[in-house]
Chains A and B, each alone.
Chain A
Amino acid sequence: MGNQPQKTYWRSLNELAQNEEYKKFAEREFPEQATELTDGVSRRNFLQIMGASVALAGLTSCRKPVQKILPYTRQPEHLVPGIPQYYASSIPFRGNLAGVVIQTHEGRPTKIEGNELHPESKGRTNSQQQASILELYDQDRSRNVRNNGSDNSWDNFVAFCNDHFSDTDRTVAFLSEANSSPTLARLRNDALERFPNARWVTFEPFNNESVYSGIESVFGRRLRPLYHFDHTRITLSLDDDFMQESDNNVSYIGDFAESRKMLSPDDEPSRLYVAESNYSLTGSNADHRLRIKSSEIPPFAFALASELSRKINGLDAYSGYTNAFNDHSWIRVLAEELVAHQGNSIVTAGAEHDASVHATVAAINLALGNAGETVEYLEVPHLDATDQNEAFHTLVTDMNAGTIDTIVMIGTNPIFTAPADLNFGEALKNVGTQLHLSHYFDETSKVSTWHVNRAQFLETWGDGYSWSGVRSVIQPVIQPLFGGKNEIEFLNAVIHGTDESAYALVRETWRNVFPDDFESHWNRVLHDGLQTDSRFDVADVYMVDGSAEIITTYLNESTAAFSDGIELVLKPDPKLHDGRFANNGWLQELPDPMSKITWDNVALISPNTAEQIGVPPARKFGETRQQVIRIQTNSGRQTEIAAWVLPGHADRSITLYTGYGRQQVGRVADQTGVNTFPLRTSSNRLVQQNIEVSLAGRTYEIACTQDHHSLEDRPIIREADLQQYRDHPTFAQDEVYIPGTHGGEREHPLSLFSDKELPAHEPQWGMTIDLNSCVGCGVCTIACQAENNIPVIGKREVRRGREMHWIRTDRYFSGNERENPKVMHQPVPCMHCDNAPCEQVCPVAATTQSDDGLNQMAYNRCIGTRYCSNNCPYKVRRFNFFNYSKEYLTSGDDPEIIQMAMNPDVTIRFRGVMEKCTYCVQRISRAKIETKKDTGDSIKPKDGTVKTACQQACPANAIQFGDISDRDSRVSLEKSKDRNYMMLEELNVRPRTSYLAKIRNPNLDI
């Protein structure tokens, strides 16, 4: 392989579509539930909703399923039917707002994009944000206020609160999910004032509490670290999957990609070291990765600190400390690297690790002079004063003691997510009254006195801060589909017993922000989606007195010796997080970035550990059935889950994801995967040592979208080390000899036919994907699914290898599977070949090339021979083996709701036709029409005006799209780079989509 050092490739193995009797998709995936409902969303209802969302005013929506088509009674302002409208808003997640822009068609929100004005989003999004549009249209969301399980009304609830909370001496406990809303904070203060015996506890199953505590122990204050990966030269991540699990992952991925941009061989990419147990997304992008057990992270951090203490000041507390890692080769190298890059390096650690680790990390960053440079410590006003994990612990103790009279649970689902040892369920029984606000009638709602159905962020008003403190308003774009209330309205009702609209409450809060000329400021914020220049203050940090003592205690507590036992690591699922997204079909069907598994969670283990347990270390080709293992913690809790061999995982370590195995929550969430929360205890939130693992003696079917994980030595993904690239800048293009393309200006391979002349007045579309930027997060897949009405087909169909995603992310391992294989990610959409092999074989000319170079599918002409798919070397075509869209859009009790999510600009594909990536032709056409309207003759949109869904969502800006006939367009510039190459160019199919080779930046000392 050209200048590549010879790699040893291996295969890990695959999936066999089992030969089973076919059952109807709907029955299989969506068991009909006897949810009787009287309300639906009628068209007339739409018009009101739309009027409302345009007039930005509250209206109560009609609740009868009227089936009439009515014209606009009042033409909403600015609204042209068929032309989408865009509103700036924000998505709350774990107490942080992400700035987004929401596309609505005639009042239906259909797509979520990042807000370009927002300093964190910069127009980019992540998978959950993209998928939250589907959450809005989830039929299974709770539709009623319920009292002891039976339907009731909001008014009765308000009346109840009025009466119940008239006694202000009640010991009320407010248990809220993390929330940064100033309005909520205001109400919170009211609450604590009004009820002297009240307490407020913030509960997030996965949170940053130990980060804050660790920082507090050395800097004296609970501060929030903000990393600037774009300024770093050296990054060390200690089991911190900041590309996936961080609250700020969108801008972190972007910054990281920025720091590794290669415009020319002279650029200096940053270098990433990762030490972790699980093979995380971040780890897959590391230049050097160390497989160690999560339980070994603290000693590793201490050893590093003590090594550094010999070289730089400020870490005296660690000097002299020794453990097994002191003479580890990495410690020496890392110390040198970090010392060499003082002020422009970053050390991070996984949020769930102990405070001791974060204290050490903070101390190191300070000592290296990174604080204030690459790491900023922010003062977050709404942050709780104390460690909320402990606060929750005490709360539960008090609940058990029966001293809590009423508990008000806002958004959280502790019955499902609380540490198992606390046995929250039992504790809750000892509470007189339980009020619960949630999207679903979930595990907690079922045991609560009152359940209030929650309105989604697209439905009601709210506000809050982003991770870095950008203050935004959550602007609704549709009336609550199921008449829900959000946390503000809910809490207001509880405290004041009044039915105040969130709109009024939020405006009231913001009046204090803009004392004068409120309306214009307010409208500005609504328009921009954020308050300009708002940001948390950066704290000036220093080691406070007594920090040394604390560190010493940390060091003394830490175990210097390592156990040989198997450890269990619990992490939030990359897609479902703690299970709050479990009923989201898009996320369920999105392949896990590393294992490519859909619809399930598994026990991730290394090949060596697999052998140790008795699981085959390499899967047989086409085998979908996986060995199930029984995991028992030393506290006696146990579960059974399918084992999955993930090369590169640390030995003697098992990683489990949470969020699966929910019951009676929704037709999507139910019966998918295994609930792993029962293994999680308050003392061992992340790691549990010395667990017992045995074979359960049965197998379980896993739907994995990628059978084969080795490149087979094929030049499909081309990568080089920085030095190799500098020695041979065109390595990617020279890797394969292609007749006709050699000497001077590269032409196309030799061809029998003279090149086809496409009309000059048309733009010629093309795309580049920079593999050096792409981190493999998979948001492109979800964005595409949302934009192009791609159906969810369910586990069995995916298992049979019939996934419908138009853009997939291929993931390959290379290197020694037993040791530490490298990983390469490669997004693959349709290549839109000029000599498309699919076109010539279609007997009815259903797929042809357009004048602007798109390889287009005429769904109405397709008769479904599948010949085109067979003849596609990239296998990007997708066939409707069944009437997927119909099942997807007409199943359930009121399909009208999911139908609202569809993009009206994109055809719904029916059974028996082929489909594939269109380069978002609907966006192209819209842009061409606009251009024609503006210029009068030209149909060549300005560069950058057409963005494909995948390109727009990509946090790493890895995808460029535009007119390749325009030499100055961004895509042309990308294509002119020396790293640019075409996959399988030797076939002379002339793909319009090309790739930019990946450059690794290894430390040659390792």
Chain B
Amino acid sequence: MSQNIPMVPDNQLVKGNHDFASLTKLISEIPQERTPLWWYIAFGISNLVLAIMLAMIAWLFWNGIGVWGLQQPVGWGWDITNFVWWVGIGHAGTLISAILFLFRQGWRTAINRFAEAMTVFAVMCAGIFPAIHVGRIWTIYWIFPLPNSMQLWPNFNSPLLWDVFAVFTYLTVSALFWYMGLVPDLATMRDRVKGRVSKMIYGTFAMGWTGSNRNWQHYEKAYMILAGLATPLVLSVHSIVSFDFAVSMIPGWHTTIFPPYFVAGAIFSGFAMVLSLMIISRKLYKLEDIMTLDHIEKMNTIILVTGNMVGFAYAMEFFIAWYSGVEYEKFVFINRAFGPYSWAYWIMITCNVVSPQFFWIKKFRRNIALTFILSIVINIGMWFERFVITVTSLAQDYLPSSWGYFSPTYVDVLTYVGTFGLFFTCFLLFLRFLPMVAISEIKGVLPQADPAYYRAQNGNTKSNK
């Protein structure tokens, strides 16, 4: 290696003069200090809400789908809306860890762990709905290609089946990715924690990681490959989810723009969700140095971009509906904006297209309060987007005689609310027991991590005594 590489001063990803040790301390001590009161309160509430969800699902299983507001012609309502919404949110994590990694975006290291965790939990929430929305839950396993006495197999023409494979794969790969990233940090925890038991537990999951360079080599290779695999996956998953609609023949569903449009929407809502969570926890855990304003600004930029992509898709849908000359298509879109569900449509437009426009202005991009509010508004808007697509298209399709108006029951509502219980229960456990920032990765992006750094300041002082 050349002896005098000029050190490239990149803008500080980590604020405050942190060195390796202080970073380790900062992050690895969070799980070690005694549990704060707010955590118990939050966890209690989450558990309660989770219990509500379980009760609702039990009620559903006991009585049948009829406890939801579904009917003819609206066979899918909140169930699929919630599914798509959660899956969408679940896209930010893998996107940040995989795509930003491939693009060598150093800033991702501050939030990727966090976002990946969120992804796994969001996809768990999403997975619930396709499972419980079937009429006969006790036969749900028939959707898997299992050898069975009936010699019957699933129908691989069905987008719903593609969904099963895509979502299942996505959940698995995200989890693997997340866990692999955790291994070195689990080792760090193993070497820090005091208690025997916790040492045992962290040690077990750290799998005897030593930080040996011969391991780092394979590790980095694997990380790169997983990132390479996850990137097409993350793009494909929501495309396949969108096939549920696009492959059908219902006006308003049967649209070729859906895959890119859904993926953009997913990133949009995913980043919003990451922001909401990040803004809270960076305060609670004093991580402002790591999750800096720069991060928030960068993410807001992405939100602005994807938000406009979504807005463009909305406009394009209308254009194509008009341009196609298909009367059913035309009707559906006009009906969306001015029909019985127009209230939902305009909520969607306001939240998803109008609100992100604030982020054209740097001041707003760096305004934490505003970002927090908008991040929530955006996720509300994205829920309504899925509602509008799913319900309004079904409610008024080809034959006017079969038109109907869907309205949810309390079971619909509480089941949806309940999923937040599941999500936050998992997320709080994550915050409590696992390093919420990728320690080894964030160290890797410190200037001190680069050997050139020392030579630049004419270091190498201690090499001869």
Contact = CB atoms under 8 A, between A and B. Distances in A.
Given A843-B158, A861-B152, A879-B75, A912 B409 contact: no
Interface of A: 14-22, 621-622, 706-714, 716, 797, 800-803, 808, 810-812, 826, 828, 837, 839-845, 861-867, 869-871, 873-875, 877-883, 911-914, 984, 987, 989
B404 A15 contact: yes
A708 B139 contact: no
Among B154, B248, B404, B409: residue with most chain A CB under 10 A: B404
A828 B399 contact: yes
Given A843-B161, A870-B76, A875-B72, 19 more contacts: A17-B407, A22-B63, A22-B411, A710-B400, A812-B401, A826-B401, A839-B155, A840-B247, A843-B158, A845-B158, A861-B150, A864-B134, A867-B160, A871-B249, A879-B75, A911-B136, A912-B137, A913-B135, A987-B249
A229 B430 CA distance: 81
Nearest to A736: B327
Nearest to B73: A875
A871 B397 CA distance: 10
B72 A869 contact: yes
B128 interface: no
B285 interface: no
Contact of B76 (A713, A866, A874, A881): A866
A622 B406 CA distance: 8
Given A841-B158, A842-B155, A17 B327 contact: no
A17 B405 contact: yes
Given A706-B401, A871-B248, A987-B249, A865 B64 contact: no
Nearest to B401: A810
Interface string B152-166: 111101111100100
- Among all A-B residue pairs, the 4 with the closest Cβ atoms: A864-B135, A912-B135, A622-B405, A866-B75
Contacts of A989: 249
Contacts of A842: 155, 158, 160
Nearest to B249: A837
Nearest to B135: A864
A802 B340 contact: no
Contacts of A811: 401
A811 B74 CA distance: 20
Contacts of A878: 72
A621 B410 CA distance: 22
Contact of B340 (A621, A803, A882, A984): A621
B403 A840 contact: no
Given A15-B404, A865-B134, A840 B157 contact: yes
B67 interface: yes
Interface in B155-212: 155, 157-161, 164
A185 B153 CA distance: 68
A616 B441 CA distance: 68
Interface of B: 63-67, 69-76, 133-137, 139-140, 142-143, 150, 152-155, 157-161, 164, 244, 247-250, 327-328, 331, 339-340, 394, 396-411
Nearest to A860: B150
Nearest to B136: A912
**Which of B150, B328, B339, B398 counts the most A-chain CB atoms under 10 A from its CB?**
B398
* A810, A861, A864, A911: residue with the most chain B Cβ atoms closer than 10 Å: A864
A869 B135 contact: no
Given A19-B410, A841-B248, A882-B66, A801 B135 contact: no
Contacts of A797: 66
26 contacts: A14-B405, A17-B69, A22-B411, A622-B404, A708-B403, A714-B328, A800-B69, A810-B399, A839-B155, A840-B158, A842-B160, A843-B164, A845-B152, A845-B153, A845-B158, A863-B140, A863-B143, A866-B75, A867-B75, A871-B249, A873-B249, A873-B397, A879-B75, A879-B135, A881-B70, A989-B249
Contacts of B407: 16-19, 622
Given A714-B327, A866-B70, A879 B65 contact: yes
A867 B70 contact: no
B136 A707 contact: no
Nearest to B408: A19
Contacts of A713: 327
Contacts of A841: 157-160, 247-248
Given A801-B72, A803-B72, A913 B136 contact: yes
A845 to B, nearest CB: 4
A871 B250 contact: yes
B135 A862 contact: yes
A171 B195 CA distance: 106
Contacts of A709: 400
Contacts of B248: 837, 841, 867, 870-871
B399 A716 contact: yes
B162 to A, nearest CB: 9
Contacts of B403: 14, 707-708
A862 B136 contact: yes
Contacts of A869: 72-73, 75
A17 B405 CA distance: 7
Contacts of A711: 400
A863 to B, nearest CB: 5
A324 B399 CA distance: 44
Contacts of B401: 706, 708, 808, 810-812, 826, 828
Contacts of B154: 843-845
A76 B38 CA distance: 81
A671 to B, nearest CB: 22
B158 A867 contact: yes
B71 A801 contact: yes
A802 B135 contact: no
Given A19-B407, A801-B404, A870-B394, A882 B63 contact: yes
Contact of B143 (A844, A875, A879): A844
B406 A17 contact: yes
B61 to A, nearest CB: 10
Nearest to A811: B401
A712 B74 CA distance: 20
Contact of A17 (B71, B140, B164, B247): B71
Contacts of B76: 866-867, 870
Contacts of A812: 400-401
Contacts of B158: 840-843, 845, 867
Which of A843, A873, A914 has the largest number of chain B CB atoms within 10 A?
A843
A875 B394 CA distance: 10
Contacts of B66: 22, 797, 802, 881-882
A70 B164 CA distance: 50
A865 B160 contact: yes
Nearest to B79: A866
A912 B65 contact: yes
A709 B401 CA distance: 6
A803 B154 CA distance: 29
B72 A802 contact: yes
B143 A22 contact: no
B40 to A, nearest CB: 34
B331 A840 contact: no
A725 B394 CA distance: 35
Contact of B155 (A18, A622, A840): A840
B75 A911 contact: no
B64 A883 contact: yes
Nearest to A840: B157
B64 A984 contact: no
Contacts of B142: 844, 861, 863
Contacts of A863: 134-136, 139-140, 142-143
B409 A19 contact: yes
Contact of A881 (B64, B327, B340): B64
**Residue picked from B69, B139, B247, B400, most chain A C-beta under 10 Å:** B400
Contact of B250 (A20, A866, A870, A880): A870
Contacts of A880: 64, 135
B337 to A, nearest CB: 15
Which among B135, B136, B160 has the greatest number of chain A C-beta atoms within 10 A? B135
Contacts of A882: 63-64, 66
